[in-house]
Structure 1
Amino acid sequence: MDRVIEKKTWTKKRILTIVGIAALAGLIIASYYYTSGGSKLNVDTERITISEVKKGVFQETIPVNGIVLPETTIYLDAVEGGRVEEKYVEDGAVMKKGQPILKLSNTDLQLNLVNQETSVYNLLTQMQISRNAAQQNTVNKLNQMTDAESQLKEAERVYLLDKHLYDQKAIGSQEYKKAENDYNYYLQKKKLTEQILKQDSVSNQQQLTQAQQSYEGSQNALAVMREKVGDLIVRAPVDGQLTSLDAEVGQNKNKGERLGQLDVVGGYKVRVDVDEHYISRIYAGLKGHFDFAGKTYELIIKKVYTQVVNGRFQVDMIFTGKVPDGIRRGQTLQILLALSDERQSLLLAKGGFYQQTGGNWIFKVSKDGSTAYKVDIQLGNQNPDYYEVLSGLEPGDKVVTSSYENYGTMQELVLKGK
């Protein structure tokens, strides 16, 4: 006898079909949810930082470190090489100008001084001999001049007498001509003697001038040589403190080698390292400040060293007012260096959000404070506390400034805990 078989309602095939359709629908819904810009994340307000955008005074500054140095440092170099014979002081000594620091010996230099002195003395002796000879020669020329004048007078007397007698026809023409010739001869001889005496005087004066110049040149050379020998004793060029002395007795020092340094006491400067990124914006006259012992002190850039080493360059800053009491050489100061003047700007507190957004967007809190949503912004300059807002926000806006590291691609934050 045939039996009717009852048809099942929930077959395995039907169940699998329904599950597949449901999974596909869920995938479509999830895909739409996460790609439609509506991704949200619940955030506890106690774990984030919310800051208010405000209008205020802004100045672009950068933090830099500086080392306190003496305002003036004088380096001691060996003007002449030699062997260290004696040290008169040690590191840290307070020196007076001209006070000896150490003594060098140089036998070659000292021998050259002796030779130079001998040369000058020989030259002086030769000058004296030449002067005496010139004076004797002048005396001889003067005697010759006296003889010529005497002979001329006698010849003139005879000539005038014979001329008178010849006019009176008391003597013959032969005797008269002889007297006339003698007179003309002694007249020419006197003129020649005068010329020789004049030339001799000029020649003597020239020789004396040349000898004097030669002597003065030798004296100057001797003075220079004595000064070089004197430089073997290294002395303090100014009042100050000897902060380093690299020399030991018996040690040989070459000419120009560094022996130490002397710091002028009473003034300080600060040598500051700056990142090369700012080299085009750093110039003499920029100001900075730092806090020390509960007070703020002002500095100003005096000199910029444009040579870049390991990505950094240096500037020297000096105090514009009182120097802090208790400051010491080698001390490190943390300085805020101003790159701009103060101006009114829209200010946004600095925070960890910048690492994820690069300053291109931020989560802005809604008016009711229940959510925070992404808005595009543009930031300008910065200082250690604030960014300068150029666009995208208004005074009074509240934004999330803490880190966005855990927010992924969220478009909106749901703020909980209020």
Structure 2
Amino acid sequence: MIVLRKALWGVLVVILLVVAVLVTGVFTSKGSAAVVVKVSTTKEGNITKDVFANGKIESKVIKEQFVTSGGVIEKIHVKKGDPVKKGQELLTLSTTDLNAKLKQEKHQLQVNLAEKEKFLKDQEKVRKQTFETVKKEMSETGSAVSLESFDENSAVDEKLYDLKIQDAESNIDDIQKKLEKNQLFADIDGIVTGISVKEGQEITLGTSSFMITNVSQLQIKANLAENDANLAKVGMKVKVSGDAFTNTYAGSISYISPVAVTSELDAKESVVEFKVDLEQPNVELRPGYKATVQLTIENAAHHIVPLSAVKRDGKQSYVFKVVDNKAVRTNVKLGEENDEFIEVLEGLQPGDQFIEGPSADVKEGIQVVIK
């Protein structure tokens, strides 16, 4: 019985000694309680950040068609929304007036040709008569016979007839070219998305008449906030989604505007336009649909820490480093962040230990116990 009591007293003494050691370990020399903390070591890493931009789907190829001749529209062969193929007839101009003018000019040409022919025959007769007269006069005076003056005047008159003939031929050629252009044909495959003329309307050369949109070559036009614009690069891969379609589509940035403009949504903000080429557009995508472009941006490698490690005092950010088992407040300069980590640009060195998620009990200089 005495032996058992001695054994129990021995166990009790050991327990008391262990408790004393633990109590001594969790109190500082000043008597302040130490705080148990979770500690990590700084490491290098990349912050991956998702940036979203709203935009619209549009066609990369929109062709405005202009008539190549003037006249009255006799027939429009398509309506808005119709699919068309390159070379398909869009409209026909009336040829009634042109055919009447062509007939008139052809008649005038025949008249001019006949007048010239008659003139040449008459001139030949007159020349013979003139030659005989001049010959008789010259024989009496002994001078040489010359019809130079007569021939010069005759050549001038003949030239006038030639000009009339050329004018009629030119008019005929112009009318025939207009007749050849009395039809307008589609320049590209696509959908008729606009018609700005109507049957019976008299139009002039160069009048805008149709808009044709190629819906198989689509792109997204969107705006990036000015703070994100420098993060985007031509060729960067993106994802495109929208409420009007079910699938998510892959694409790449094909263009970034060199200038910023005022946002239509907020006059105080500037935005930069960019365009995205879709890799495999589907029939469910239509020009005019709203779309959201997701850019995943990876920054250059920096020291990164969990968001929970960073505290803020007004505008100043800081972390608690662990130095000689004490918490040391260290001001830091921060960079980009994502849902888990944030860049520390200044304030930490490789291998520094810092406290994750410091509680309100963690103060400058307090003794800490690492989990």
TM-score by length of 2: 0.59
Distance 1:131 1:270 in 2: 68
After TM superposition, the structure 1 = structure 2 runs for residues 13-412 of structure 1, keeping only pairs within 5 Å, are 53-57=42-46, 62-75=51-64, 88-89=78-79, 91=81, 93-101=82-90, 113=98, 116-117=101-102, 120-121=105-106, 123-140=108-125, 142-144=127-129, 147=132, 151=135, 181-184=140-143, 187=144, 190-191=145-146, 193-201=147-155, 203-205=157-159, 207-208=161-162, 210-211=163-164, 214-215=167-168, 217-219=170-172, 221-222=174-175, 226=179, 230-231=183-184, 235-242=185-192, 244-245=193-194, 261-264=211-214, 266-276=216-226, 281=230, 286-291=234-239, 297-301=251-255, 307-310=261-264, 311-318=270-277, 322-323=279-280, 328-329=285-286, 330=289, 332-336=291-295, 343-348=300-305, 360-366=316-322, 374-380=329-335, 387-397=342-352
Distance 1:347 1:251 in 2: 72
Distance 1:60-1:291 versus aligned 2 partners, 3 A rule: closer
Residue type of the partner of 1:201? Answer: A
Q: Given that residues 56 and 347 in structure 1 are in contact (C-alpha distance below 8 angstroms), is that contact kept between their aligned partners in structure 2?
A: yes
Higher strand share: 2
**Residues 123-157 of structure 1, C-alpha deviation per residue, up to 9 Å, x if partnerless?**
535533443344235423553476479x47x97xx
Secondary structure at 1:393's aligned position in 2? Answer: coil
Q: Identity of counterpart residues, as a percentage?
A: 14
Secondary structure at 1:301's aligned position in 2? Answer: strand
Secondary structure at 2:236's aligned position in 1? Answer: strand
Secondary structure at 1:211's aligned position in 2? Answer: helix
Q: Given that residues 364 and 397 in structure 1 are in contact (C-alpha distance below 8 angstroms), is that contact kept between their aligned partners in structure 2?
A: no
TM-score by length of 1: 0.54
Secondary structure at 1:267's aligned position in 2? Answer: strand
Residue type of the partner of 1:267? Answer: Q
Residue type of the partner of 2:120? Answer: Q
Secondary structure at 1:271's aligned position in 2? Answer: strand
Distance 1:308-1:295 versus aligned 2 partners, 3 A rule: closer
Alpha-carbon RMSD across the aligned residues, in angstroms, is: 5.5
Q: Given that residues 288 and 335 in structure 1 are in contact (C-alpha distance below 8 angstroms), is that contact kept between their aligned partners in structure 2?
A: no
Q: Given that residues 361 and 377 in structure 1 are in contact (C-alpha distance below 8 angstroms), is that contact kept between their aligned partners in structure 2?
A: yes
Residue type of the partner of 2:52? Answer: P
Distance 1:307 1:211 in 2: 61
Residue type of the partner of 1:376? Answer: N
**Residues 238-263 of structure 1, C-alpha deviation per residue, up to 9 Å, x if partnerless?**
12234x35689889899899876423
Gaps of 5+ in 2: 1-32, 241-246, 265-269
Residue type of the partner of 1:377? Answer: V
Q: Given that residues 109 and 168 in structure 2 are in contact (C-alpha distance below 8 angstroms), is that contact kept between their aligned partners in structure 1?
A: yes
Distance 2:231 2:126 in 1: 81
Q: Given that residues 297 and 324 in structure 1 are in contact (C-alpha distance below 8 angstroms), is that contact kept between their aligned partners in structure 2?
A: no
Gaps of 5+ in 1: 1-39, 156-178
Q: Given that residues 351 and 401 in structure 1 are in contact (C-alpha distance below 8 angstroms), is that contact kept between their aligned partners in structure 2?
A: yes
Distance 2:76 2:89 in 1: 10
Q: Given that residues 54 and 292 in structure 2 are in contact (C-alpha distance below 8 angstroms), is that contact kept between their aligned partners in structure 1?
A: yes
Give, in angstroms, the shift of residue 67 of structure 1.
3.6
**Residues 35-82 of structure 1, C-alpha deviation per residue, up to 9 Å, x if partnerless?**
xxxxx9x9998xxxx986432356888433444433212245788798
Higher helix share: 1
Distance 1:199 1:206 in 2: 11
Rg larger for: 1
Q: How many residues align?
A: 321
Give, in angstroms, the shift of residue 392 of structure 1.
1.0
